Amino acid sequence: MLTGDSLRGDYREIIGKSSQIFDVLQQIENLADTPLRVVVYGETGTGKDLIARALHENSGRSGEMVSVNCAAIQENLLESELFGHEKGAFTSANTRHIGRFERAHKGTLFLDEITEMPLSMQPKLLRAIETGEIERVGGEKLIAMDVRIVAATNRDLAQAVKDGLFREDLYYRLNMASVSLPTLSERLEDIEDLVVYFLEKHRLSCASGVSEIAPSTLALLKSYSWPGNVRELENAIERASCFAKGEILLPEHLPEEIRMCQKRPVNSLKELLTSENEQEMSFPFGTTLEAVEETFICKTLAWLDGNRTKTANMLGIGIRTLQRKLNRYGF
């Protein structure tokens, strides 16, 4: 939970103290009660649904947030799902159906996986946005709507425009503002708080008595690459808390793919850097030197089974320097 003085909204469900998460919350704070349409970008499991909900809940809008997963609804049903239909509009339309646009009146329509919206549907969405009115399939009248749209995607929407998969005019209408979510491996310092939060969240369903995280478990969690981001971490912690018998969360409770990082023997720093794990050691342009150092130290520590002396030797720093840095990272 982040409770910076500068933030007025309620973000209790968004865990993290990293500067990356603080930036995201700051953006939500600036955007939530504006009418601007927002696209939330982020890899799978980074929290796009959570952020869309925070944008809605801090918007002051009185209606509901209604979600549509553009990838999950068949192309021929999407129009009626979005705009509704009148009785008799097509063979199986036995009753009038109120679409999600209408249900989101005075609230927020969350268009998830927007990049997957079929090209055939895009002009209809564009028209609804431009006129502020919708027409039910088979209907004759236009219905005025007050709907704020938030969209999300794990792909590059601008690239989809270049590839001819997404209309440019619709892109500009939707992307009035954007929020880009960091991957979990870009904010490793949030892992401990997230683990504590997920342990608590799943305590009852797993009848778990875990109240402590072993330092070696934390080192391991910080050394993993997290391709499935926060969702993968949540699943790992839920599973681990069901397996753990005692009060301490140990590496053996974690899924094998995470433990594998630690088990693989590493003889030298050179080998670590040139191993097939190399990709886990690459950093996106713009990563701070501090984040690079922290990740690097934690990975080395994890790969050496949590042995601090060996880690200090391998990194060519004194044990006390290592200790100090680890304290700063919360070990």
Ligand X SMILES: Nc1ncnc2c1ncn2[C@@H]1O[C@H](COP(=O)(O)OP(=O)(O)OP(=O)(O)O)[C@@H](O)[C@H]1O
Answer for which of 7, 26, 49, 203 binds Mg ion (CB under 5 A) is 49
**At which residue do the structure tokens 């690097």 appear?**
296
**What angle in degrees, to the nearest 10, is found between the helix axes of 122-131 and 75-83?**
10
Q: Which does 47 bind (CB under 5 to 8 A by kind): ligand X, Mg ion, none?
A: ligand X
What would the two tokens of residue 315 be?
């990194």
Which span (8-16, 73-81, 120-128, 311-319) binds ligand X, by CB under 6 A?
Answer: 8-16
Answer for which of 46, 59, 80, 223 binds ligand X (CB under 6 A) is 46
Closest CA to 45 of 235, 295, 210: 235
For Mg ion, give the closer residue by CB, 49 or 135: 49
Question: Alpha-carbon distance 124 to 135, whole Å?
Answer: 10
Question: Alpha-carbon distance 146 to 105, whole Å?
Answer: 5
Q: How far is the CB of 3 from ligand X (least distance, A)?
A: 14
**At which residue do the structure tokens 């690079």 appear?**
292
Beta carbons of 198 and 234 less than 8 angstroms apart: yes
Answer for which of 2, 15, 25, 315 binds ligand X (CB under 6 A) is 15
Phi, psi angle pair for 306, to nearest 5°: 75, 10
Which span (14-22, 41-49, 191-199, 255-263) binds Mg ion, by CB under 5 A?
Answer: 41-49
For Mg ion, give the closer residue by CB, 178 or 313: 178
Task: Answer yes or no whether residue 57 interacts with Mg ion by CB under 5 A.
Answer: no
Closest CA to 151 of 232, 65, 234: 65
Beta strand 212-213 with 143-144 is unpaired
Question: Alpha-carbon distance 134 to 155, whole Å?
Answer: 28
Task: Answer yes or no whether residue 45 interacts with ligand X by CB under 6 A.
Answer: yes
Which span (44-52, 72-80, 124-132, 169-177) binds ligand X, by CB under 6 A?
Answer: 44-52
What would the two tokens of residue 114 be?
């927007």
Which span (5-13, 14-22, 40-48, 137-145) binds Mg ion, by CB under 5 A?
Answer: 40-48
Task: Answer yes or no whether residue 192 interacts with Mg ion by CB under 5 A.
Answer: no
Q: Which does 42 bind (CB under 5 to 8 A by kind): ligand X, Mg ion, none?
A: ligand X
Answer for which of 28, 32, 47, 306 binds ligand X (CB under 6 A) is 47
Contacting residues for 75 by C-beta, under 8 A, at least 6 apart: 118, 120, 121
For Mg ion, give the closer residue by CB, 51 or 195: 51
Which span (46-54, 202-210, 292-300, 321-329) binds ligand X, by CB under 6 A?
Answer: 46-54
Sites of contact with ligand X (CB under 6 A) = 13-16, 42, 44-50, 154, 230-231, 234
